[in-house]
A = this chain, B = another copy of it.
Amino acid sequence: MNSDFTLAIHSLTFLALQPDRMSTSDMISESACVHPVRIRKVLSLLKRHGFIESKEGIGGGFHFAVDVSEVNLWDIYKLTSEGSLQPKCPESNEQCIVGANMQSVLFNIFLGAEEHLGLYLKNYTLKEVVDLINQEK
């Protein structure tokens, strides 16, 4: 899985812990140790889907738009990483029954696998993640 998922969760958790002020992409990027442009790219996605709001200009930044218990890890997985569970299938030989069909067989199995993963990830809301972060001391 790529690290956009982690950066999205990291950013949302950061915002959740600063409920009363705007957080800038610079602040978040300092916490996550990645480039602010990447944070803005990930947050732009979260904004398009209504999880956060942003404001440009001095004093601007990002804040949570919904309640932390209304966002779960499956929501964020779908946004940032849907399909990434699929194992890489190199193009294979269409002349061979195995080569010709392996990709679609595995694709269907892992479609189900991702759905199954969804049932698990739905159990974790951002609230739970924030609580776990606070517990780790």
Contact = CB atoms under 8 A, between A and B. Distances in A.
A90 B6 contact: yes
Size bracket, chain A contacts: 35 or more
Interface in A43-87: 73, 81, 85-87
Contacts of A133: 97-98, 101-102, 105
B92 A32 contact: yes
Given A1-B87, A85-B1, A96-B31, A101 B136 contact: yes
Interface of A: 1-3, 5-7, 9-10, 13-14, 17, 30-34, 73, 81, 85-93, 96-102, 104-106, 108-109, 112-113, 116-117, 119-121, 124, 129, 132-134, 136
